[in-house]
Amino acid sequence: MNAKIFAALKVAEKAKDACPLFLIGNPGTGKTATVNMFAKVRGYEVVIVRGNSESYDSILGYPTTPDNLSEGNLATIRLRPDWFQSILDNEAQGKKSLLFLDEITTAPDLVQAALLHLVIERMVGREKLPDSTLIVSAGNYASNLSNSMIMLAPLMNRFCIYNVVPKLKDLDTFLCRYEGSIAGKRVDYVNETLQKMMKDIDAQEKSYSPEVLDKIGEYIERRVKLVTKQLGETDKKEFDPKVTELGNLYSDLENDEPLPGIITYRSLNYLVEITKAFYVCFGKAGITSDVYKEMVYGLVGLSLSRETNGERKGELKKSYVTKDYVDQMVDVVNDIEKMSNSKLPEYEAFFAECISKGKSFDVPTMNAMINKINELAGDREMANIARPIDPSMIQQIGDRLVKSSDKFVKYKVDTNPNSDSFSCPITPEQFAGDVAHWNIISTLMTEYSKLINEPSRGYDEDTKTYLRDTATKLRRAAFKLKTIQKILTKSHPDLAEATVQIKSFTNS
């Protein structure tokens, strides 16, 4: 569990507080302890503001009259709160601060309003929080609190919610203080285990130029926009930005349901930044991870609209849409990977040139394609590239393979090959050449199918269905050649299957 929270905190850190992290869970699940351990491993000085023991003024500063008050200077000023002065002192000493807003779910409404201002503006009075300050918050589920304690929806919507839900296997993390003592090798969990964990997490981060980062951001932004429009434009109407009924979402959870984030235009922007940071920190594998899915759930997991039909027309409708966004983000990352891959254009240009030669493939072209597909399959630089051959290109290749086999299908055999009377449309010499030609088609189809059906390549079911349809068409040619082989074998035993083999393609 610590590894997952550390990964989430690392992403929040990378996003430069574009969207602070809010850890929510039952009491005693290690939220505060984990934040303190992360701060120690990461070199932050922890400054704590506890929502249940603060006032509006202790957060944003105490209004007071300046010493030089005069008739021309009637404005009040705000004295710095102690916690803010601590952060400024840290900054002056070259230390970065982690501002931990703890127990915010038990803070009174007025204090939550002050926290909302602090988190949004990163301002205390007229002074700004240092850029190096990382804001993290924590709180408990409504079911753990009294009925009078309700988290304000605007404050909740200002964070990326991360539900801390320990599993039984996490018991080893909670009970490890004395681990190794019996053997005389007590483990220093923070300075050894967690330090190594953080190094492993950091090692996955990649460096990109500002220009490439902007391109990555645009790819993600476009896709977030597309998904959201689809949610709002479908017959189901799962997202309606006009819905303002947010008040009770924090306290309305049932059956131990994790707290979701609500889709708003703000949280959609946060999703762009978090996805971009997640990709930079962990690459494509990160976008398919459970941690990323949990962060998406905590940002835009819940979509609000109104019922449009039936007896419930006009009532609030809740739709859980995490999968809609995650699936599209996985897909867009595939496009990003292609953008930054230097080898992909070479392969794309090769297959495009093969397609441009005509409506069918000759033998030299097919041999070259077989070699190129095998090269691609073994190319380490292409190992993480999804859909390395574009689906539209796959269809064109399949069409040309079918066209290349058409002449075999068109051969007319006048009678049953098992009868004594038969008519064969080609000579034994032609047949031998046709089999050699067909075997190249079959080999190409086999290698082509292996690539497309490899799960890591990410081809969708539509592409695989097209591939199966192509295989069915090609098998007609193989069947016709095998029929002719049976006919010719009667007068030319040397053409029997034992000596002249008609290849069948596999994995299709």
pLDDT above 90 covers a percentage of the chain that reads 45
**HEC per residue, 92-144:** HCCCEEEEEEECHHHCCHHHHHHHHHHHHHCEECCEECCCCCEEEEEEECHHH
Are the C-beta atoms of 117 and 129 separated by less than 8 Å? no
Are the C-beta atoms of 120 and 3 separated by less than 8 Å? no
Mean pLDDT throughout 409-420? Answer: 69
Q: Can you name the residues that pair with 100 across neighbouring β-strands?
A: 48, 136
Mean pLDDT throughout 357-384? Answer: 92
Report DSSP letters for 400-425, one per residue.
HHHHHTHHHHH----S-TTSS----S
Q: Which of 458, 10, 9, 15 is nearest to 213 (CA)?
A: 15
Model confidence band, residue 152 (pLDDT cutoffs 50, 70, 90): confident
Residue 247: the pLDDT is 56
Question: Which residues are within 8 A (CB) of 5 and not within 5 positions of it... i.e. 6 or more apart?
Answer: 23, 34, 38, 162, 164
Mean pLDDT throughout 97-106? Answer: 92
pLDDT at 251 over 70: no
User: What is the C-alpha separation between 150 and 99, in angstroms, rounded?
Assistant: 22
How would you label 248-265 residue by residue, b for 16+ Cβ within 10 Å and e otherwise? Answer: ebbeeeeeeebbbbbbbe
Tokens of 437: 């030609």
pLDDT at 337 over 90: no
User: What is the C-alpha separation between 189 and 173, in angstroms, rounded?
Assistant: 9
pLDDT at 101 over 80: yes
Residue 412: the pLDDT is 82
Mean pLDDT throughout 161-176? Answer: 85
Model confidence band, residue 508 (pLDDT cutoffs 50, 70, 90): very low
Helix axes 210-233, 265-287, angle to 10 degrees: 120
Domain parsing of the chain, residue ranges: 1-203, 204-340, 342-495
Q: Is 320 helix (H, G, I), strand (E, B) or coil?
A: strand
pLDDT at 291 over 70: yes
Are the C-beta atoms of 296 and 271 separated by less than 8 Å? yes
Place of tokens 């835009």: 300
Q: Can you name the residues that pair with 317 across neighbouring β-strands?
A: 305
Residues 1-203, CATH architecture: 3-Layer(aba) Sandwich (3.40)
Are the C-beta atoms of 490 and 366 separated by less than 8 Å? no
Q: Which segment of 31-45, 158-172, 217-231, 405-419 scores lowest on mean pLDDT?
A: 405-419
Q: Is 45 helix (H, G, I), strand (E, B) or coil?
A: strand
Task: List, for residues 373-410, the tens digit of each pLDDT value.
Answer: 999 999 988 887 888 888 889 999 999 999 999 988 88
Task: List, for residues 438-451, the tens digit of each pLDDT value.
Answer: 999 999 999 989 99
Q: Which of 69-73, 91-95, 156-160 has the highest mean pLDDT?
A: 91-95
Q: Which segment of 113-127, 170-184, 291-305, 429-443 scores lowest on mean pLDDT?
A: 170-184
User: What is the C-alpha separation between 412 and 289, in angstroms, rounded?
Assistant: 56
**Distance, CA of 254 to chain centre:** 27
Mean pLDDT throughout 272-286? Answer: 93
Are the C-beta atoms of 157 and 261 separated by less than 8 Å? yes
Residue 366: the pLDDT is 94
